[in-house]
Structure 1
Amino acid sequence: MKFNINLEYTPISPVADLPFTESSLSRRISPYVLDTDEIGIALVDIWNIGWENGPCIPELGYELSTERGISHANRKRQIIEEIICPTVNELRKSGVQIFHCNHAFFLEKYPQWNYSTTQEERDSLNKPKNEQTNSSEKPNTEDDIFPPRDWVHFWQGKHSNEINNWEWLKQNDKVYEFIDIPDPAKPQEGDLLVFHHVQFHRLLTERKIKVLFYMGFETDICVQFSDCGMKFMSSYGYMCNILRDCTTTFEVAETLNGLWKTRVHIANIENKWGYSTTSQALIESIRKSERD
């Protein structure tokens, strides 16, 4: 079923009839005619961190077992429960294909895994990763190296620990053994499970899906740069759009009031990979065509 929708973007170049200044670079609309058979929903890393039955390491406790803090976990849970899940349920009713983009070891236990993957794709998960190679030439002697390696190791290690708190992070890594998709967002019959861009491309090609609407987390990391993220899928030629109210990333004290870090990366997505819209705009556009 075809439907009309205004997708949105933020220009970084002159806009007709407006002065060329930053205050003129506001979000604008671009009309498209899409088909529900040719769009897909990419749910990225929808996890149960922040749920009462979610992953928790006893020696850390509930708060320290969250990935990026309790406020971040609670915000993501609210988005999942109040926006993502209702939106996905509505889109399923309209025949839109739902893709759960996640790590393979989170997905393998679901029955949809077998019809989402081929035997070859499943076998590939058991193969060792290729050894990484470094083509850059090393200086011949330590005396030739600048900046000095011991100084580099010192400041990089200090900075890394200040940012990441490695003592905590090593304990927090155990959380990933217990992560699952939360109950309201679990795969339903007909949904597809995706773990790699080559597999994703195969599934999209088989179904002639050209346009992806992304929901999930984090806006600046996995949504764009995971194995199923926008960077890979855009390289194939797919239009990769973000639903602005269905995503967030971890904020810091300076950005939390207004979720400015999230907003900046949504603008970056509009510049790099595709467009943005809201869950309600997408649903209403499809509903209007169904009524007409």
Structure 2
Amino acid sequence: MLGQDLVACFTGRHEALPLSRSDADITDSRAIAQAIARSRPDAVIHAAAFTAVDECERKPELAFEVNAEGTRHVALGCRDNRVPMLYISTDYVFDGTKTSPYVETDEPNPINVYGKSKLQGENYVRQTVERFWIVRVSWLFGPLGRNFVGTILDRARRGEALRVVDDQAGAPTYTADASEKVKQILEGGAPGLYHVTNQGYCSWFDFAREILAQAGLEGVPLSPISTAASGRPAARPANSRLANTRLAASGLGLLPPWQDALRRYLLRESRARN
């Protein structure tokens, strides 16, 4: 999902070389090393991940193989070829107990396998690569791949009554906006850790209500439920809000509000269908 918009964002001004799993499986250290050595890129953006949070909980070995060891393989390839690396990480590295948005200097403490595996990936990047960026994003939505916006719209159009969690807070983030900011960071941002999200925060319930309103589906029944009542295998942080503190200080500018991002995404999807 994010990868498609990253490629689109970099194509034109830069020569983008997207690699699929068949091109270079990140769990295969030799394949990754050869791919980086062969292409000799100016930088590597590592966005590949096992992101299905509940599946990670069911398959922890696979989660760490992909998100931790796979990232280590990419980091080693970058180190050995003296290539800068940008790693896409997640809000789920935090436990959600803080009462205000998380800043880049807050100590991570993940509460699920997905978050733990991604944090281990972050640590491998820090320990291995000389010049790196780590970009944490949250609640991504965009074209291709499963995402919350598509799920809500699909179920609403089938006439289903919706029950959505209202006790988790975060920042919905459009992949097109995040990709543009990643490009700006890579082109001119000092190395290090950044939080990159659309501005503003909401609960999943509030997000669903805004999706239905913007799509003209306000009549679809929507009711709030608690995280405990949702019965998901993986724990979720109650507070996933990321403060874009370093981004603001860098002078690169902040992303637009998430409501505006949602409007542009829905317009893009409407045009793609017509």
TM-score by length of 2: 0.31
Q: Radius of gyration: which is bigger?
A: 1
TM-score by length of 1: 0.29
Q: Give the number of the structure with larger relative contact order, counting CA–CA contacts within 8 Å between residues 6 or more apart.
A: 1
